[in-house]
Every structure is written in structure tokens, then in C-alpha cells.
Amino acid sequence: MLQKIQETADFLKSKISGSPKTGIILGTGLGNLVTQITDKTEIPYETIPNFPVSTVEGHSGKLIFGKLGDVEVLAMQGRFHYYEGYDMKAVTFPVRVMKAIGIENLLVSNASGGVHPDFEIGDLMIITDHLNLFPEHPLRGKNFTTLGPRFPDMSEAYSKDMIAKAKAIAVRNNIKVVEGVYVGTTGPTFETPAEYRYFRTIGGDAVGMSTVPEVIVANHSSMRCFGMSIITDLGVPGKIVEVTHEEVQEIGNKVQPLMTLIMKELIKEI
Ligand code: HPA
């Protein structure tokens, strides 16, 4: 694994000209932020050695190196989900590579179902913490101390400093944000009403199928993390209706520009 990480990092370093400290993982269909990146170098995943091979035909996504404002960033447009069949080492491999390239701050986005009774469709949620309900842990197995400790601390999995900065940015720009705990689960089914109730009962505010594995590995690698969810549907008693992937994407599209603004401003301040 160590050799593969290094190989991939060396390949990417040979393709990019700067030394970005900020990495971004954009949820499926949440590529709006990429339109703001200038001086772009785009590297399709299928051309990157050791990157997981897409299970979906055609577009698996790409890495984009460039500038957001004045800041160099390395963005992943599209991620690898556990439900697609990848094991957790594959899902989180890009985070390992980001660390090896020199990334220190990781920003992640996703779409999720709100289970907090006050949440509304289209809300932007700053992730304050998570609950890991994936059946496989990305750090299970031999630990390489060069990558991180055997028993990593998770007391501040999402940087309090970045959360405070993002909230201030939202206030300054008149953007409504909510805060909450993200429950990471496998999917690919959306939840039954009983499952939504369960996630609320155990302390969740929103539920989705990603983010948690990447944030665990980023913490293992001593990276600072910040995450935002777009609440695309509600798993709240009385408000549960049929959910489709298309609706999730449609709501995601509408709200993306606000999330982009917050992330862009935040990147300037970290
Ligand atoms: N559940 C799980 N994942 C999701 C949801 C949901 O309701 N909405 C968007 N991603």
C-alpha cells in the first residue's frame, strides 16, 4: 500500500506545477465549485495509476488541480462509494495520496437526508461530527505508523476552527446554515421510515452514504477536516416521501452555489 501511495503521489506531482495544501472532495453531482477553479489541470481518474477503476461506465470523475481565488487546491470531482463495491482501502486511497502530496486541509461535500425535525429541504448543514455505521472500517488491518497511529484520536474529527470560520462566512453573506451530526451508512437504499427514526434516536441529524471513511483516514493522517451536507430530502416523521436520485441531484444543484461560496471564502482563511 505504501508503495502504491508513493507511486500515485509521484505521478500526480509530475503533472501539477504547485504544491497545494488544500484538498476538496466533491460529492456526486456537486461539481459547481470546480467551475470557479482557474489555471486548471484536469486528470481523469482512469489515467491515474493505482486509482480505483470505475464500476460505472464512462465518467468516473477527475482530479482537478488549480487555483480557487489565490489559493492552490486539489479537487476530486466525484468520489468512490462503498456501495459501488469498492473496499474501504480503495474508497479512501485518494485521501492517502492527497496526504502524500502535501495536503493539510480537507474539505468534503455530500448530499444527505435530514433527520433533524427542524431541517428543511435545501438546507446547508455544516458537519460538526459523525457516526460511523459502515460495516467495514478503513483502518482495519495492519497499521503503518508512517501513515498514522494505530488508535487515532477522533475528538475533533471536524475542525472547530474551520466550523467557526464557515459560520461567520455564512452570517456575513446572509446564507442560512444549520449544523449537525452526519450518519454515514452504506446505502445504496435510501432509508425506511424506521431507519430514519433510528438514526435520529442515536444522535444523527442527517444521513448519507459517504464522507465518513474519507474523514477517518484524513484524521489518521493528521489532516484538518471540514464538511458540508446539502439536505436534499427529509427522513422526518410526517414528512417522509418517496426519494429519487434525480430529486437529490436537483436539490443539490440548486443549493450548490451557496456551498461553493462558503467553501471558497473558507479556503482563503485557512
Ligand atoms: N439517505 C441516504 N443518503 C442520502 C439521502 C438519504 O435520505 N439523501 C441523499 N443522500
Instruction: Give me the pLDDT at residue 92, please.
Output: 97
CATH number of the domain within which 199 lies = 3.40.50.1580
Question: All 3 cell numbers of residue 179?
Answer: 449544523
Average pLDDT over every residue of 130-159: 97
Give the pLDDT band (50/70/90) at residue 60: low
User: Quick one: pLDDT at residue 27?
Assistant: 85
Based on its alpha-carbon atoms, the radius of gyration of the chain, rounded to whole angstroms, reads: 17
> What percent of the chain clears pLDDT 90, i.e. is strictly above it?
84
Find all residues with CB under 8 Å of 67, minimum gap 6, and list them.
37, 38, 39, 73
- Cα 214 to ligand 1 centre (Å): 17
31 band by pLDDT with thresholds 50, 70 and 90: confident
Please give the pLDDT value at position 55. Answer: 63
Reference 249, options 110, 130, 124, 79; nearest CA is 110
| 224-241 mean pLDDT | 93
61 CA to centre of ligand 1 in angstroms? 21
Tell me the best of 209, 249, 251 to mutate to test the pocket of ligand 1, counting ligand atoms within 8 Å of each CB and taking the most. 209
Identify the domain containing residue 128 by its residue range: 2-269
Atom of ligand 1 nearest to the CA of 208: 3
Query: How high is the pLDDT of residue 57?
Result: 52
Residue 58 reports pLDDT greater than 60 = no
Q: Which atom of ligand 1 is nearest to the CA of 243?
A: 7
Smallest CA separation from ligand 1 atom 6, residue: 113
Residue 56: pLDDT band (50, 70, 90) is low
The 3-state secondary structure of 31-47, one letter per residue = CHHHHHEEEEEEEEHHH
**What is the average pLDDT value for the chain, to the nearest integer?**
93
Has residue 107 got a pLDDT over 90?
yes
Confidence bin at 139 (pLDDT 50/70/90): very high
pLDDT at 54: 63
Distance 158 CA to ligand 1 centre (A): 20
**Does 254 have pLDDT greater than 90?**
no
**E strands present in 200-265:** 206-208, 224-234
Residues with CB under 6 A from ligand 1: 111-113, 187, 190-191, 207-209, 232-233, 235, 243, 248
Testing ligand 1's pocket by substitution, the residue of 232, 236, 240, 244 carrying the most ligand atoms inside 8 A of its CB is: 232
pLDDT in tens, 151-197: 999 999 999 999 999 999 999 999 999 999 999 999 999 999 999 99
Domain count, the chain: 1
C-alpha cell belonging to residue 36: 470557479
The best mutation among 30, 189, 191 to test binding of ligand 1, ranked by most ligand atoms within 8 Å of the C-beta, falls on: 191
Give me the mean pLDDT over the 115-132 stretch: 97
